Amino acid sequence: MPTPNSTTNPLPSLGLLALALTLLTYSLGQTGLVVPPVGSLAAVLLLGGGLQLLAGLQTRNCYAGAVLLPLGLFWLSLIGFEVLPALGLGRQPHPVTMVAYLSMWGFFAAILFLASFRQSRVLQLVFGALMVCLLLLALGQFRDNPVFLVSGGICGICSALAAGYTALAQLCKHGFGRAIPPLG
Note whether residue 183 is domain-resident. Answer: no
% of the chain at pLDDT higher than 70: 92
Structural domain includes residue 6: no
What are 111-167's pLDDT values in tens digits? 999 998 988 899 999 999 999 999 999 999 898 888 999 999 999 999 999 999 998
| Per-residue confidence (pLDDT) for residue 171, from 0 to 100 | 85
Number of domains in the chain: 1
156 assigned to some structural domain: yes
Distance, in Å, from the CA atom of 11 to the CA atom of 56, rounded to the nearest integer, reads 9
Q: Residue 81: inside a domain, yes or no?
A: yes
- For residue 133, give every residue at least 6 positions away whose Cβ sits within 8 Å of its Cβ, in sequence order, or none: 23, 27, 106, 109, 152, 153, 155, 156, 159
Structural domain boundaries enclosing 103: 13-176
**Is 3 inside a domain boundary?**
no
Tell me which of 35 and 1 has the higher pLDDT.
35
Confidence class for position 184, pLDDT limits 50, 70, 90: low
What is d(CA 160, CA 24) in angstroms, rounded to the nearest whole number? 5
